[in-house]
Amino acid sequence: GTGTRYEAENATISQGAVESNHAGHSGTGFVNGDNVAGSYIEWTVTGSAGGLAGAATLRVRYANGTTANRQATIAVNGATVVRDFPGTGAWTTWTTLTLPVTLNAGNNTVRITANTANGNPNLDYIEVAQ
């Protein structure tokens, strides 16, 4: 299915700001993380009781208007994977990255942390689907 969407502008932001100046985002905006390593966004993904336990698909919608890959660490309940967020051609061109994750029933945390001094790409939302 399409899953449940969690907008970045509703998440916890460490070093960054909600902005809306680049068209094509979902919701009221996106998060422009500061251009520093370690800046992050953290979402709490909460299902109905038992509803999210097990294998799921995580989608991350982003834009990177530069030509530099903005590698980031994606942590799901602390379990980390590193993913590339290559340039999308423009800040108004949004792309979705997909990865498999394992979720617990109830609350789960999803954190995307910038690994390079360029920071994260602009992040629009995450979706969780099973």
Of residues 24 and 54, the one with the C-beta less far from ligand GCU: 24
Residue among 122, 123, 80, 125 at smallest CA distance from 101: 80
Q: How far is CA 19 from the centre of its chain?
A: 15
Please report how close the Cβ of residue 87 comes to ligand GCU at its closest, in angstroms: 11
| Of residues 108 and 122, the one with the C-beta less far from ligand GCU | 122
Calpha distance 22→114 (Å, rounded): 20
Work out the angle at residue 55's Cα, subtended by the Cα atoms of residues 52 and 25, and round it to the nearest 5 degrees: 70
Least Å from the CB of residue 1 to ligand GCU? 30
Least separation in angstroms between CB 65 and ligand GCU: 6
Count CA atoms closer than 13 A to 127's CA, side-chain side.
Answer: 15
Query: Which residue's Cβ lies closest to ligand GCU?
Result: 32
- Distance in Å, CB of 125 to ligand GCU, minimum: 16
Determine phi and psi for 8, rounding to 5 degrees.
Answer: -65, -35
Closest CA to 61 of 102, 9, 15: 9
Provide the binding-site residues for ligand GCU, judged by CB under 6 A: 22, 32, 35, 91, 119, 122
Q: Of 25 and 111, which has the nearer Cβ to ligand GCU?
A: 25
Residue with Cβ nearer ligand GCU (40 or 91): 91
